Amino acid sequence: MGARYSLTVRELKKWIRNPANLFITLIQPLFWIILFGSAFDITKIIPPTIPGGSSLVMGTFFMGAKNYISFLTPGMLAIMALFSAMFSGMTIIWDRRFGYLTRLLVSPIPRDSIVLSKVFSSTIKALVQSVILFSIALIIPNGLYVSSSFNAYDLIGIFIIISLLSIGFSSLFSIIVIRVKKMETLMAIVNLLNLPLMFASTAMFPLDIMPDWLKNIASYNPVSWAANSLRYLIIQGSWNSTLFNYIIYLIIFDLVMFLAVFLVSRYGFEE
């Protein structure tokens, strides 16, 4: 436990001392919200002749969001957690390159501590970044509208969901990094996976407007589970059965990934 704590603190100190990393991971979701979210105003392209107008469409397809930014922001919170997780294990490659990893592998600490510290630090980073992004979305013009019933329990739920998503994907990408030795290979893998995980989910668009083949993929994407869960809390202020089902799915995903990263970190490292 002490080794995991010390290594996690080390990762966070490195992150704090390099604020450029925070800026880089924060600026892309902000661009999506401020630029794409503002440009793609679904309420302005709905013909006024439709009975019920934009209120009916937003209530039916966009979970009752008052504007597209309100629908998009929970999805971007999930995407931010995903991006943070993708780069969580990148420092393993640098530690291997500069010889620090070798010293850790021969030291009398559990090998899983090396990887779990990346997972824990990535989760903390995702939570900090989410607070910043959520706050900015609230203050931009015509930005995020939260439910009138939104309360502290919903805020705690947001932290839980982001943590679950970050833990699962941090574990997954840490498994990949354990076997990857070159930064170029890791970047290629990240670039190969990030777009399918983002676009084959409900982070940006509702499930009902997708083609059937993509709808089937998105419904099993953990990013979709997290994005929809966040929308129930932020837009509707509702703890319903569907939300609890999504949380259960995320917990199962985390348990599988956590067990896998534990086993791979114990037996998959090459000194």
- Give the number of C-alpha atoms closer than 13 A to the C-alpha of residue 55, restricted to the C-beta side: 2
What local confidence, expressed as pLDDT, does residue 201 receive?
A: 93
pTM value is 0.88
Give the domain extent around 29. Answer: 2-267
Domains held by the chain: number:
1
Q: What percent of the chain has pLDDT over 70?
A: 88
Q: What is the mean pLDDT of the chain?
A: 83
Dist. CA 41–CA 10, nearest whole Å = 43
Instruction: Find the mean pLDDT for residues 156-173.
Output: 93
Please give the pLDDT value at position 153. Answer: 92
6-58 residue pLDDT tens: 888 888 888 787 777 767 766 777 777 887 777 776 666 655 555 555 665 66
Question: How far is C-alpha 16 from the chain's CA centre?
Answer: 20
- Greater model confidence, 52 or 115: 115
- Higher pLDDT: 86 or 46? It is 86
Q: E strand or H helix at 193, and its extent?
A: helix 183-199
Quick check: 101 and 65 in contact, CB under 8 A? Answer: no
pLDDT at 64: 79
Q: What is the pLDDT of residue 46?
A: 59
As given in the structure block, the two tokens for residue 241 are 């059965």
For the CA atoms of 75, 81, 84, 86, the dihedral, rounded to the nearest 10 degrees, stands at -80
Instruction: State yes or no: pLDDT of 206 exceeds 80.
Output: yes
